Amino acid sequence: YPNGSVVFENSCFEFSPGEDEEVIYAKGYFVQDGILGDYQEIPSLSIGGGVVGKTDHPDCNTLLNGIDQPEDPDSLTDDLVTVDDDVLQPPTDDLMATDDALAPPSDDGSETVDDETDSALLEVIVFDDGKTHELAASNSGNSLYRVLNSSKLNIQESATYITAPDGASEPAIFVNNSQLLVLGNDIRITGAVGRADVAGQNGGAAIHATNGATVSLQNANSEGTAITVRGGAPSSGGVGGPALICEGEGTSGYIASGEFYGGIAASTSNYTGLSLLVRNMAEMTITGGNFYGDIEAFGSKIQLNGGLFDDDTTVLANGTGSIITFGNGCFDLERAEDDETKIYVKGYFVGTDGVAGTYQTITARQLDGGIVGKSDSKDCSNSPGPPSSSTEPTLTPIIDPESNGIIVFDDGGTHALLESDSGVTLYQVLNSSTLTIQERSTYIYATSDEIAPAILVN
């Protein structure tokens, strides 16, 4: 899918297109301990700019010498096409397709890419030398930036405006196993706008961080114009691009301030793009900022300790392992009567000075095992007034009202569940505590609507 890649690594495959130009057949072998596995022909789909690529095993020529590939495999034969060897190559016009796509920049630090959505050549600035680089106002314009190989990119000068070219399939700034620091005022980063002559083209992302990258965004001071990160607007029939994507284990983000807009179509008043997408085990901490467009955690964690959310913005905990926690505040979580997945989060965040912020009613959803919870780190007994004393936070997800509730072990000790503890109860094991279950016929059930795991170990 867009901004995604599937790579056949350390293998001996050739790529062959199918009758549908989006279908690619990977024909060949995986290599395990220097030995070829079974011959396979694997159909793959490249959708909306997604990439299917490969990295060959260094001994493929030797391993394949004298081996005849099957002429009539049991499956897929009718769908295959015959092509010349010179076209049996992975796509090379996307960032993650092949190693060549990550080649060092030319002497002037730039390269050109023939983007599949546009016949024009796009300028791509690559930082991949492991050093720290600065973008200034003089760098403003329609270029794409890639920050790779443990490099660092700082954007701190006012009036620095980075905008992806119209129709580009890549984000304005792509950060892979590197760092991005945006610390200033009047800095704008905008994703690609869908081309008007291509119906249904989605807007592009402004920033995409992956593979252990770190991203930090914060206004230099409260006096100047805010940082603005905006997903690209789509063409007619498309979906707006996300402002910020963080994905992958080890990838982390921190937002202290700024304005984040999902892409919005000119013909509507709705932000169809996400203001924030955190997926695939990445983590995000938010202490401030304004958000226009849904926020989604997909298999990831988002800690919300501040921020203001547009009335039409929904916070989505989507899928098992997705946890969104409203912390450092005083909130009540109320389930909607007409939709069991919908939760209204009502209350306010508390500033570092102990003063209550703006009262908000935020719409949240728990989908497919995702959890929306809260950790009230202050004394909220006098809500909505400012809290007065500090206590240890306790995660409190919404649970099935017919269940036996939630039991938290967070004292660092060892606890045991017995047969007598069987039932519909949620357990959380936190703060280096230990839970043992050893007695026969001990049955622990999650709540009936599966909004939380039966046992959460953090």
Instruction: Determine if the pTM surpasses 0.75.
Output: no
The span from the CA of 149 to the CA of 130, in Å, is 6
Q: Which residue has the higher pLDDT, 104 or 14?
A: 14
Asked which of 33-37, 315-319, 446-450 is least confident by mean pLDDT, the reply is: 446-450
Q: Which whole number is the average pLDDT over 146-171?
A: 94
Q: Which residue has the higher pLDDT, 170 or 113?
A: 170
Q: How many CA atoms are closer than 13 Å to the CA of 17, on its beta-carbon side? A: 13
The span from the CA of 365 to the CA of 344, in Å, is 9
Q: Which whole number is the average pLDDT over 311-338?
A: 91
Instruction: Give how far Cα 156 sits from Cα of 58, 153, 250, 376, Å.
Output: 44, 10, 25, 34
What integer best gives the mean pLDDT of the chain? 80
Question: What is the pairing mode between strands 132-135 and 152-155?
Answer: parallel
For residue 407, name the pLDDT band (cuts at 50, 70, 90): confident
- Dihedral class, residue 398 (left if φ above 0, else alpha if ψ from -120 to 50, else beta): beta
Q: Which whole number is the average pLDDT over 436-457?
A: 79
The answer to whether residue 94 scores a pLDDT higher than 50 is no
Highest mean pLDDT among 212-226, 276-290, 340-354: 276-290
Q: What is the largest CA-CA distance in the chain?
A: 80
pLDDT digits (tens, 9 = 90+) for 13-64: 888 777 766 677 888 889 887 788 888 989 888 766 667 778 777 778 877 8
**For the chain, how many residues are written?**
458
Q: Which residue has the higher pLDDT, 97 or 116?
A: 116
Under a CB-based contact definition with an 8 Å cutoff, are residues 7 and 17 in contact? no
